[in-house]
Amino acid sequence: MTAGTGSPKRFREASRTALNNERLQRAMNRLQSGFGEARAQAIADLPEFDALRDLARQRKDFTLRHLPQYLAAFEQAVRRAGGRVHWAKTPQEANRIVRGLCQEYDCRHVVKSKSMVGEEMRLADYLLGWGADVIETDLGEYILQLRQEKPSHIIAPATHLNRDDIAETFQATHGEDGQQGKAAEGLVQEARHRLRQKFKQAEMAITGANFLVAETGTVVLVTNEGNADLGVTLAPHHVVVSSIEKVVPTLKDAFLFLRLLARSATGQDISTYTSLYTGRRRDGATDGPETFDVVLLDGGRSDLLDSEFEEILHCIRCGACLNHCPVYAGAGGHAYGSIYPGPMGAVLAPALNDGTVHRELSQASTFCGKCEEVCPVRIPLPKLMRYWREKSFGDHQSPFTERVMLRGWAWLCRHPHLYRSVIRLMSSLLRRLSHGGWITSLPGLGRAWTQDRDMPAPPAKTFFEEWEDKR
C-alpha cells in the first residue's frame, strides 16, 4: 500500500477497504484483545504504575527543557567511548550520512534491524537504490521487505498479516528454500536460515534506538527477537539511526522508561532483549564493533519544542495508543498513509512533514480519550489532535462546506429566537421523513447517519415548546 495525502476522503476510502478485508479485521481483533489484556494484567500487577507514569512525565519535561545540553552531553560521551555522532536536519541528509559511512568503511552488505526512524528516512530503499545489499533482519520487517510493504504498527510492523499471508510470501520469494509449509515454527526456521547467510556476510549493522543515555553515551535498544544483537556482534561496523528526542539524562531514567515501555506495549515486565551499546570495541577486547556511529535526525522535531505540540516528543513508541484505539482497530495502520499511524501518528506525522498533508488524520477521532488513558507518559493526544484541527480550520485547510456549516451553526446559536425557529423547522422536516417513529433514510449530510442505522423521529414538540406551554 502506498502513502497518500491523508485527507479525510483518502483516509475514509482506505479505512473502508480495510473494513472489508476480513483477514485484516481478524488480525486487528487479535492484536487489540491480546495486547490490551496483557497490558491490563501487567498494570494490575504493578501498583506503582501510575506513580511511575508521573515520574516519567516529569523526566521527559525536564529533558526537553534542556534538550540541547543533553544532546551535547550524549555526543561527548559517545566520543569518549570511541564513537561518533552525526547530525541530520532532514531524512535526506541522514540518508546521505549513512551512505557516506558505507563508503568510508567500504561496506556493501548491510543487515538492518527495526527502526521507525529508519522508516521515516526510507533508509533501506535509499541504500538499495545506491547499490548496497540491505536486508531487514527482524522477522516482521523481513516479511514486509519481501512483500514491499510498509509497517502497519510501530512495534508489531506486520501485525496486519497472518500465517497464510506469510507462507504465501515465502513460497513466492524463497524459491528452493520455501519448503517449510505453513506451520509457524517452520516459517521462522525458514527465515532464520535465509538470514543466517546474510548475517555472516554483513559488514555493517544498522539499528534503531529506544533511548540515548547522555550520561554514558549508551544506546538502549529493546527487541523481542535479538537479531539486532546478532548483527551488531557479527558485523564490524555499527550504525545507529535515531531521532533527537530519544535522549534521556541517565541510565536510571532509561530503566524507568523501559519499565513503562514493555508493560504498555506487550504487557511484558521487560522486553525479551534489552541491549545496551556503548561505543566501539575497546582496545584489547575481543568483541564489539570496530566502529560506532550514531546518526541523529531532527526531522522537524526541534520546531515542536515550545510549541503546542511539544508533548508529543514525550512519546516512547510503546504503541499502547494504537492497541487501544477503536479507530485504528477498524482502519489498520496502512489507512493512515503515514509512517506513524494511530493516535500518536495523527499528532506526530503532520509535524514531520512540515506541510499539511497528514493533518487531516486528526479528524479521524471521536476524542474518546482511550489513547490518553493508556499512554504511559500521559500525552494528551486528543488535545493535541484538536490543535491540528484548529490549524486546519484557521488555514482554511478543512473542507469549505464544513467551515461554512460550523460558522453558520455558531452564528445561529448566538441568536436564540432564530435558533428555536430553525430547530422547530428541522423537527417538522424530520417528522415528515419518518415512518412509525423512525427515519430510515435521510438526504444530504444525514445520509451518512442512515447508511447503517436509523434515526428516531423527533416528537411533536421540542422541550422548549413544552416548557413554554407549561408556564
**Chain residues in the site for ligand SF4 (CB under 6 A):** 264, 315-321, 344, 374-377, 379
Give which of other proteins, ligand SF4, none residue 448 binds (C-beta under 5 to 8 Å, depending on kind).
Answer: other proteins
Which ranges of 138-216 would DSSP assign to H, the alpha helix? 139-147, 163-174, 184-201
**Pick from 3, 19, 67, 251: which binds other proteins (CB under 8 A)?**
19
**Residue 15 near other proteins by CB under 8 A:** yes
CB 334 within 8 A of CB 118: no
Report the SS3 class of residue 340. Answer: coil
What residue type is 133 in one-letter code? D
**Residue 10 near other proteins by CB under 8 A:** no
**Residue 396 near other proteins by CB under 8 A:** no
Closest distance between ligand SF4 and the C-beta of residue 52, in Å?
Answer: 13
Cell reading at 6: 491523508
CB 354 within 8 A of CB 300: yes
Q: How far is CA 65 from CA 58, 61, 168, 306, 469, in A?
A: 11, 6, 49, 9, 60
How many angstroms separate the CA atoms of 227 and 159, rounded? 18
**Pick from 16, 30, 79, 89: which binds other proteins (CB under 8 A)?**
16
Q: Burial of 453 by CB count in 10 Å (0-12 exposed, 13-18 middle, 19+ buried)? A: exposed
**Residue 40 near other proteins by CB under 8 A:** no
**Residue 464 near other proteins by CB under 8 A:** yes
Q: What are phi and psi of 233, to 5 degrees?
A: -70, -35
How many angstroms separate the CA atoms of 120 and 5, rounded? 16
Closest distance between ligand SF4 and the C-beta of residue 324, in Å?
Answer: 8
**Residue 454 near other proteins by CB under 8 A:** yes
Give which of other proteins, ligand SF4, none residue 464 binds (C-beta under 5 to 8 Å, depending on kind).
Answer: other proteins
Q: How far is CA 16 from CA 24, 165, 332, 444, 450, in A?
A: 12, 21, 10, 20, 17
215 vs 372, which CB is nearer to other proteins? Answer: 372
**Residue 62 near other proteins by CB under 8 A:** no
Give which of other proteins, ligand SF4, none residue 409 binds (C-beta under 5 to 8 Å, depending on kind).
Answer: other proteins
Give which of other proteins, ligand SF4, none residue 375 binds (C-beta under 5 to 8 Å, depending on kind).
Answer: ligand SF4
Give which of ligand SF4, other proteins, none residue 445 binds (C-beta under 5 to 8 Å, depending on kind).
Answer: other proteins
Closest distance between ligand SF4 and the C-beta of residue 342, in Å?
Answer: 7
**Pick from 55, 188, 251, 412: which binds other proteins (CB under 8 A)?**
412
DSSP codes joined into one string, 239-290 = EEEEEGGGEES-HHHHHHHHHHHHHHHTS-SS-SEEEEEESSPPTT-SSS-S
Q: How far is CA 249 from CA 40, 65, 71, 228, 321, in A?
A: 29, 12, 9, 24, 25
1 vs 412, which CB is nearer to other proteins? Answer: 412
How many angstroms separate the CA atoms of 340 and 153, rounded? 8
Interacting residues with other proteins (CB under 8 A): 8, 11-12, 15-16, 19, 326-327, 329-331, 363-370, 372-373, 386, 389-394, 398, 402-403, 406-407, 409-410, 412-414, 416, 419, 423, 426-427, 438, 440, 445, 448-449, 451-456, 458-459, 461-464, 466-467
